[in-house]
Amino acid sequence: MTIVYWEDARATLSCIGGWHRLRIQLGDLCMPVIRGDDIREAKRSGKVGVIFGFQNCSPIEGDLELVQVFHELGVRIMQLTYNNQSLIGAGRYEKMDAGTSRFGREVIREMNRVGMIVDLSRSAEHTSLQAIELSERPVANTHANPASFHAALRNKFDDLLRALALSGSMLGFSLYPFHLRDSGQCTLESFCRIVVDTAELMSIDHIGLGSNMCRGWGYETLEWMRSGRWTFGPDYGEGSADKPTRPEQPPWFRTPADMPNITRGLLDRGLDTQEVGKILGGNWLRFFSEGFESNAARTTGGGSEK
């Protein structure tokens, strides 16, 4: 779950507080996921397990110590950049990309230490490749598709996908229409074919879903995601002035309840149930279980660092 796009440290505290409040209001519907076992517990008890993630590094401002502070508040994954240049590296919408900054190298090391996963979904290519090299632990590209599937600015070239696989990292396939071939007209067959093709490129163990599902949000939220406070003018992101709003989801993936369609689609393309299980959640479960542990806990064979 995305906690912030552009918020600074103080505003982020309120965002986290807001999600706590919502969870209480919703009663038994959700539970926070702090470690891998929480995912298993959510599954067992029929709840929605919620992982806190940042789509930008704006919450840590220029302060290296805030990585651990937000980790203690439950944040388990952070994108190094949103669309623009961040203090860490270049976002995918920048024309130029100088890679990771001096601060960025410190942040990646600190994220490795505390057990906060590096997410490259919105980062530019050179920044991403450098981050994979710098990170001593696998990283994730939680929601972006292969550029060979659809040439969206945010989709990823094969060299990056190979680097992800070689480092034991994960790719999450996006179901956001802007990232799909033929947008909302993308067929289930077409989507499942790129999943299978990518399994051949990256191995079946390094792919999963990162739906980018947005429901019940108005245009104001989309405007905040695109323009934040960094520009006065409208910025249409992946849209355009004549098509500013989000396109419709494909008919076979309109809500999380449509997930079985993807299971069926992958089985239809010849994968067996074990393979589909990896893509539908098994790989993320393994990856998150390892990634959420602090380096100290990993090297001493488990236990909490606190």
- Residues in touch with its own copies (CB under 8 A): 6, 8-10, 58, 61-65, 83-87, 90, 93-94, 96-99, 101-104, 106, 228-232
> Which long-range contacts link 86-90 to residues 24+ away (Cβ below 8 Å)?
86/56, 86/57, 86/58, 87/57, 87/61, 87/62, 88/57, 88/127, 89/123, 89/124, 89/127, 89/130, 89/131, 90/123, 90/124, 90/126, 90/127
- Which residue number, 83 or 198, has a Cβ lying nearer to its own copies? 83
d(CA 226, CA 238): 9
Read off the DSSP letter of residue 274.
H
- Which residue number, 94 or 205, has a Cβ lying nearer to its own copies? 94
- What's the closest the beta carbon of residue 162 comes to its own copies, in angstroms? 23
Coil/strand/helix, residue 155: coil
- Which residue number, 132 or 202, has a Cβ lying nearer to its own copies? 132
- Which residue number, 87 or 134, has a Cβ lying nearer to its own copies? 87
- What's the closest the beta carbon of residue 221 comes to its own copies, in angstroms? 17
| Sheet of 170-173, strands arranged across | 2-4, 52-54, 75-79, 117-119, 140-141, 170-173, 207-209
- Which residue number, 151 or 232, has a Cβ lying nearer to its own copies? 232
Read off the DSSP letter of residue 7.
-
- What's the closest the beta carbon of residue 161 comes to its own copies, in angstroms? 23
Q: How far is CA 96 from the centre of its chain?
A: 23
The H-assigned helical ranges of 168-294 are: 188-202, 219-227, 259-268, 273-277, 283-291
Cα angle at 279 between 273 and 284, to 5 degrees? 130
- What's the closest the beta carbon of residue 185 comes to its own copies, in angstroms? 31
- What's the closest the beta carbon of residue 102 comes to its own copies, in angstroms? 5
Contact (Cβ atoms closer than 8 angstroms) between residue 155 and residue 178: no
Query: What is the phi/psi pair of residue 283, to 5°?
Result: -65, -45
- Which residue number, 35 or 126, has a Cβ lying nearer to its own copies? 126
- What's the closest the beta carbon of residue 89 comes to its own copies, in angstroms? 8
Q: Are strands 75-79 and 30-32 parallel, antiparallel or unpaired?
A: unpaired
- Which residue number, 63 or 158, has a Cβ lying nearer to its own copies? 63
- Which residue number, 69 or 285, has a Cβ lying nearer to its own copies? 69
- What's the closest the beta carbon of residue 87 comes to its own copies, in angstroms? 6
- What's the closest the beta carbon of residue 275 comes to its own copies, in angstroms? 41
Contact (Cβ atoms closer than 8 angstroms) between residue 224 and residue 15: no
Contacts of 230 (CB under 8 A, 6+ apart): 6, 84
